[in-house]
Structure formats: C-alpha cells, structure tokens
Amino acid sequence: MYSKTISGALLGVNALIINVEVDISSGLPMFSMVGCPGSEVKESRERVWSALKNAGYPVPVARITVNLSPADIHKEGTAYDLPIAIGILESSGVIPPGCADRILIIGELGLNGEIKPVRGVLPIVSKAAKSNIKECIVPTENVREGAVIPGITVRGASRLTDVVEFLRSPSGKDLPVTRIDVKEFFEESEYSSVDMPDFSDVSGQESAKRAAVISAAGFHSMLMTGPPGVGKSLIAKRIPTILPPLSLDESLEVTAIYSVAGKLSEDTPLITKRGFQSPHHSITLPALLGGGQHPKPGAISLAHRSVLFLDEFTEFDKRVMESLRQPLEEHRINISRANYSLSYPADFLMICAMNPCPCGYYPDRNKCTCSEPVLKRYLSKISGPILDRIDLCVEMSRVSLNDMSNKAGRISSRKMRSQVMAAREIQKKRYASSAYRFNSEISGSDIDKYCRLDSDEKNFIENLYETLSLSLRSYHRILRVSRTIADLDSSEKILKKHILEAAGFRPNLEYWRNL
C-alpha cells in the first residue's frame, strides 16, 4: 500500500517541501531508502524500526520502500524520522489513509518512540505557510520556534504515540496548538540597555569611542591597535549597544539563521537583539564561513545584522583572514562542495583588535623588544587587500589615572545610540531610491553623486591625495567616512573638518610601512 507524508529540507537558510513516499509490498523483507539520502537519513531506518516496535505498533514484515522527493536534492539531518514512521503506519493500515495529507511533519525519533528536537524548524514552517499548508506537527521543544510564523497552526508532540492517536481521531486525542503574537513578543523583548554593558564604563579612549560611533552609524569596519589592557575588547563588546534595534523583518531573518544552526532555545523562539560573535583565533575555515560535512552557518552568518569581533587579529590563520574579503563585499557567503552548494547571509559589522607587535608594546622601546624583521613578519599577516577593506583604524594608548577617575564626562551608550540612529535615518532617506543602505556601501562609480564636494573641499582632498600619496581606494574610503561624519553632524555638505577627521582614521603609514 502507498502513502505520502509532507516534510521539509534545508537549503542554506531556506527550506524546500519534501514528499516522503512509502510503499509496502509483498516480497523479501527489506527496508530501502531512495531520494539522495545522506548518512543521517539512511540511519533513520534503524531509529524508525526500533521506535515503532517499542511504541507497540506492528512492524510490517514486507518490502518497504521510502522515497524522498524531489530525489535530486541531497537530504541531511534527522527530521525525516517522524514522517517516515507515520508513512509506514499509514501504508500498513494503522492510521487512516490520507489523514496526514495536508500536515507537514518533522521530528527525530528516539528508540523508545520519543520525539526529539531538530534544527531548522523556523524556515521549514515558514516555507510550509507559503506553500498553503495549514498545519505542522513539530517536536515540543521546537514548537515555540515554529509558532512565530503567522498564518499556520503549529502543534507540538513529545511521543510517536501522541501523533498517531491524533491522526487516528483528530477530535479525540488532541495535540496542543501553540500561538505566539510575534509583534507583542517582539515589543516585550525590545532592545533595552538594562543588564547590558555600557560605554559609560569605559575610561578615556575618546578617539576609539568616536570611531565606534562612526562605525555603527555608517556600518564601517574598524581596527583597534594598542598594547594589552587599554580597552580594545571592552569597547568592541559595547558596540552592539549603540546599534539601532533589530526590525521585525531583521529579527525573523536572524532567527532563521540561528534555527538552521541549532542555536535557538525553547525559551528564546525569536532573536530580538543585536548579537556579538567573537570567534577564537584558532577557528577553522568551515567554522567561520559555514558548511562542513553536515552544513551549518558559520560564525560570520551568526553575526548577520550584528557585530563580528576578531580579537588578536594577526593570530588568525592567513586563509581564514583572506576568506573575509568576499563576504565583506557581497554580504553573503557562497559555499560549493562536491555534494551541495549553499548560500548564507553574512551582512556583519567587522570589528578587529590587535597588539602593535608580538610583545604588545611597540613603539615604546623601553618595553618593546621586537626587532624590525620580527615586526615586519607580524604585520605581513594582514594583507593589503584586507587592510583596504577596513575603513577606520584607531591607535589606542594607556589610559591615564585622571581619565580613570573622571566619570562625569563619560558618554553613555544611550546617547551614542541616539546619534547613530539619527545618522541612520538620514542615510535611509538618502538611499531610498537606490540599492544602498549605508555610506560604507557606496561604490566608486556613485561616490561623486552621494559625496558631493564644494570647490574648497574638493581642492582640500585633492591636496591630501597628492601629499599622502593615497590610492584610489583610500581616497574613496575617506570620502565615505567623511559622509558618515557629516551625517552625524546633521550636515548636508561634507566640510573640511569632516574630511580631516576621516583622514585621521586611515592606517598610520609609519607603522604599516612594513606591510
């Protein structure tokens, strides 16, 4: 007897509807699975067999064929266990035929019939809603995650027997429906500075704080250089607190990434705050970019719409560092392997920190013992193309006792965030009819359109270009940063002072001469 159950597969952070077809026929007892199943999917045969037996259902002694359609898509994960089990029970007559025709079912089975959580529930339920499927059955631990999608009924189940009884008689044994008012939940969880680190905790380092505001306002990447203990990590961890709150659409987008990565908890079905990803410098290429044997988003995708902090920047593997070039330009990471090709979002704000030399104290020759060749090898770890993609470079020094004791003049994250949001609003209006969102995205061909200069300012930056022997990319970078500084000043025009401040955040040629 033939049956068909609906399930879902992940394609990056998107999903695809999968039809799980089961046919039970006479012949030698066997269980065959087709439809391009991965190793985890092939192992479902043993889990399903044991779960059916231990739940008290007869296991057919016949030829069982399971097809996962469309058959040309590679299937991974354990979410097919439950729909395969339901298909077998329907084909063997335990549950009425057609009772699960319009219900999407996903879940991993334990050997005792327990339904365990799986990853990627949110994008799968979202795809079901767009495909006019009105109902989903998911593991109880994932039910709140699926319930954030409007327009679809999501039921949670903890055991195989509960699902079977519900399908036998929907009016009898019921599976509870979970509903979440996403807008209300989002408003309740809205960004708050309570229990969050604040910039008012940072002593001194006014130049780095100013750079942080410029970085957040125009989405400019930033590099902080300084000896140990000057507050580089302290400042980086506080940058998410000055970014504007996530919009509802951005929240759902980020939540889908966390869902696919299996990072959502039962108590947090929706990501409502900007994140902070700080991978260790020993991170591997697949862990940073995503992919792997069982594809998952990497650290740069988990930092989507948020902050990616690379501490001890020079200690990262050269290949890992160079791999950032494409996502910094395209805001996506494309991964192609022998058996799959995926694309993950990667629109992140990159903040880097490094010591000025291996010992950490250059140019203080009273403490620094690094020779010129050692310093050259150290700086050569950062290539010119990577340095060219960093808009703001800040040199930090030791904080004085006077700065540490002066708490009255410290600016708070709330005030800095209000400056950032005002500048973001100006950019939103400026780029309303274009594909740009932030000043950092302006291409070289449009630089004159959005960064217009009066004659005095034009002469000033031309002199700067010749005097400092700037490259064209450096010239454009100064203009883009100048545009952000002007927005922070609520100035329609870019003035000399804005250009001068932007030029002050370019790499120190004396220091980087060894690169």
Asked if CATH classification 3.30.365.10 holds for the domain at 2-180, the reply, yes or no, is no
| Burial group, residue 131, by CB count within 10 angstroms (0-12, 13-18, 19+) | middle
Give the single-character DSSP code of 69: E
Q: Write the pLDDT tens digit of every residue in 363-420.
A: 888 888 898 889 888 988 898 888 888 999 999 988 776 766 666 668 889 999 999 9
Residue 346 CA to its chain's centroid (Å): 6
Compute the distance between CA of residue 326 and CA of residue 179 in angstroms, rounded to an integer.
40
**147 phi/psi in degrees, rounded to 5:** -75, -10
Arithmetic mean of pLDDT, 128-152: 93
Q: Which residues contact 483 (CB under 8 A, 6 or more apart)?
A: 218, 439, 442, 450, 451, 494, 498
* Helix (DSSP H) and strand (DSSP E) numbers for the chain: 23, 18
What pLDDT is stored for residue 408 in this prediction?
63
Among 107-116, 337-346, 368-377, 495-504, the minimum mean pLDDT is found in 337-346
Compute the distance between CA of residue 167 and CA of residue 148 in angstroms, rounded to an integer.
24
What pLDDT is stored for residue 400 in this prediction?
74
The pTM of this model reads 0.89
Write out the residue limits of the CATH 3.30.230.10 domain(s) in the chain.
2-180
Query: Side chain identity at 20, as an amino acid letter?
Result: V
Give the single-character DSSP code of 271: -
Q: Write the pLDDT tens digit of every residue in 473-510.
A: 889 999 999 999 999 999 999 999 999 999 999 887 66
- The angle, 0 to 180 degrees and rounded to 10, between the axes of the packed helices 496-503 and 455-467 is 20
Closest CA to 325 of 294, 291, 300, 357: 300
Is residue 290 within 8 Å of 333, Cβ to Cβ?
yes
- The angle, 0 to 180 degrees and rounded to 10, between the axes of the packed helices 496-503 and 472-488 is 120
- Class of domain 199-512 (CATH, top level): alpha beta
Write out the residue limits of the CATH 3.40.50.300 domain(s) in the chain.
199-512
Per-residue pLDDT band at 195 (split at 50, 70, 90): low
Per-residue pLDDT band at 39 (split at 50, 70, 90): confident
What pLDDT is stored for residue 472 in this prediction?
86
Backbone torsion region of residue 423, taken as left when φ is above 0, otherwise alpha when ψ lies between -120 and 50, otherwise beta: alpha
Hey, what's the torsion of the CAs at 35, 36, 42, 47, to 10 degrees?
-50
- The angle, 0 to 180 degrees and rounded to 10, between the axes of the packed helices 81-91 and 44-54 is 60
- The angle, 0 to 180 degrees and rounded to 10, between the axes of the packed helices 81-91 and 160-168 is 40
